[in-house]
Chain A
Amino acid sequence: MESKINAPAIKFGNNIDTDVILPGKYLILVDPYELGKHALESLDTEFVNKAKGGVILVGGKNFGCGSSREQAPIALKYAGVKCVIAETFARIFYRNAINIGLPVIECSGVSDAVKTGDDIAVDLEIGKIQNLSDDKVLQGTILPLFVMEILTDGGLIENLRKRLEKK
């Protein structure tokens, strides 16, 4: 996975829960692309079309609260979300996103500094978030090295495989 990401932003508010990211009725689906077709449809029926070409999702506080369903970050990833930036994350969503190789970055002030449509550049390794539309730069939280490694390996499955092979 690349540590530098560049894509337009789609912004949502506070407390975006995993039920609106992916409703419970779709949890019986196993194909990640099928899950992706329903990402955030409860809030925006056009989201999937908007996200297709690759987007950065910007959220407020407590992004991904609620159910532990890993299908929520999977749906976002396969809908075209390249990275989620939020003021704060719900912890299970945060770990799940990293574990499936979807970059997440916590950044205080991001929801004021970014609006839907802004072109955003993220450098995960140094936690730098740049709004290319107005050249504002924000500092996000830098991930601990071992967590960053999970992301650069593409997720926990590959990361653990590598670690087990080394043993």
Chain B
Amino acid sequence: MNITEKILATASDKKIVVSGEIVDANVDVLMTHDLTGPLAVEAFKKIGAKKVWDNQKVVVILDHQIPAESIKAAELHKTMRQFAKEQKLRLYDVGRGGVCHQVMPEQGYVTPGAVIVGSDSHTCTYGAFGAFSTGIGSTEAAAVMTTGKIWFKVPQAIKIVVNGQFNKYTTPKDLVLNIIGKLGVDGAIYKSTEFTGPTIHEMSIAGRMTLCNMAVEMGAKNGIIEPDNITKEYLQKRVKTLPDFAALKSDKDAQYAQTVEFDVSQMEPQIACPSSVDNVKPISEVGDVPVDQAFIGSCTNGRIEDLRLAAQILKGKKVKDGVRALIIPASQEVYKQALIEGLTEIFTDAGAVVCGAACGPCLGGHIGLLAAGETCISTSNRNFIGRMGSTQANVYLASPAVVAASAVTGKITDPTILEEKQ
């Protein structure tokens, strides 16, 4: 079996599962947030359930419209606070958490081998720690709250083998954009994507999270990476008990629907051009694209490693006149670390605005929306029509290094070229 099959077999009390089989899996953790949670609460009440199946396993994180940007959002937050109080759930309120997919592993809710579902499509991020995790809807979240179980069709798997060393300004974001560009936005539909190979074994947790986070952008059910010492190092100070994950590896004879290989050593920074995540080009082929806004943040690229990279480029420079640069740390912990390391000062001096930990403009619900005809270069994960505001705005997706360099020059820029010019 491959790693995903092993986790689903254990979760459904079976010795073996095969792809295509439908299993009823026990859920280890359910996560919900302020935009999809209220519908789940309503459904939970309609089901007639009185108590969640296990109040230690349901986590509520307010992150999408925080601090409340409207009375309607404030009401939704109130609903979630009341529900968390009634059910005695862990709630990460404004100023206590941040973007759900960053907070979940930081606060110790993610362990290798766990089955984690969340009412957010980027729940697949936790595959970075060797968990099986996937997004579900609100009503399904209510059903999980009630029963602690969920049905899954065991997915076929795609093995993505990555070789080579990254160049100075190419990152896991460039890799995952390159992969999505090659496989397409439905290239992994209904499937599991397993990232492996020497480059992955050496990759930081931050990079692994970026990869698994975007698995859903090629339609994948989950993204997953075998847990190892890097996983252990990150988790041991965060989780109560770290399970023994020695057996959590794909067998040598594991089945894959497809195996694809990538090499990062010659890879240029990659850009996903409007309005599809698979419309990916190497930056040298993107041409002259002026930008109005540069956004660094989100569950894809709002970690301290991302901010360090951006600060390295922005240090001593100014954001180009006419460009708004938004920096949004993915969590309160990342925010504090950025302060301690002096990154916030670098960003502020450059003329960027540093906002509190939240989803920000990524989904076009809150701050930093775009007007018709405007362009944003963003480290987030989607560039769909209307995603970040006006349906006539354009969103380009890139790494934090490219977004920082583009903020300085006012057009989409390769950080290597910016460096050479200095």
Chain B minimum-CB-distance residue to A165? B48
Interface residues of A in 82-105 (CB under 8 A from B): 88, 90-92, 95-96, 99-100
CA distance A95 to B153 in the complex (A): 11
Chain A minimum-CB-distance residue to B139? A99
Known: A66-B121, A66-B382. A28 touches B143 (CB 8 A): no
Inter-subunit contact B35/A69 (CB<8 Å): yes
What's the nearest-Cβ distance from chain A to residue B48, in Å?
6
Tell me if B's interface is mostly helix, strand, loop or mixed.
loop
- Interface locus among B70-78, B82-90, B104-112, B259-267: B70-78
What's the nearest-Cβ distance from chain B to residue A72, in Å?
9
Interface residues of B in 111-131 (CB under 8 A from A): 119-121, 123
CA distance A42 to B42 in the complex (A): 28
Chain A CB within 10 A, most for which of B76, B137, B219, B382: B137
Q: Is A6 an interface residue (CB 8 A)?
A: no
Known: A65-B185, A156-B143, A157-B139. A24 touches B46 (CB 8 A): no
CA distance A128 to B93 in the complex (A): 49
Q: Is A123 an interface residue (CB 8 A)?
A: no
Known: A68-B119, A69-B36, A96-B140. A157 touches B47 (CB 8 A): yes
What's the nearest-Cβ distance from chain B to residue A61, in Å?
5
Q: Is B170 an interface residue (CB 8 A)?
A: no
Chain A minimum-CB-distance residue to B138? A70
Chain A CB within 10 A, most for which of B138, B151, B369: B138
- Interface locus among B312-320, B338-346, B349-357, B383-391: B383-391
Inter-subunit contact B46/A20 (CB<8 Å): no
Q: Is A15 an interface residue (CB 8 A)?
A: yes
Known: A67-B121, A92-B121, A155-B139. A144 touches B387 (CB 8 A): no
Q: Is B300 an interface residue (CB 8 A)?
A: no
Q: Is B160 an interface residue (CB 8 A)?
A: no
Known: A27-B365, A65-B219. A19 touches B387 (CB 8 A): yes
Interface residues of A in 50-68 (CB under 8 A from B): 61-62, 65-68
What are 30 A-B pairs at a CB distance below 8 A? Answer: A15-B186, A19-B363, A19-B386, A24-B365, A24-B387, A25-B364, A27-B64, A28-B72, A28-B73, A28-B365, A30-B42, A30-B72, A61-B189, A62-B186, A65-B186, A66-B382, A68-B36, A68-B119, A68-B137, A70-B119, A90-B186, A91-B190, A92-B121, A95-B136, A99-B137, A99-B140, A99-B143, A144-B22, A157-B43, A161-B48
Closest 8 CB pairs of A and B: A96-B137, A62-B186, A70-B137, A24-B363, A28-B72, A68-B121, A19-B384, A68-B135
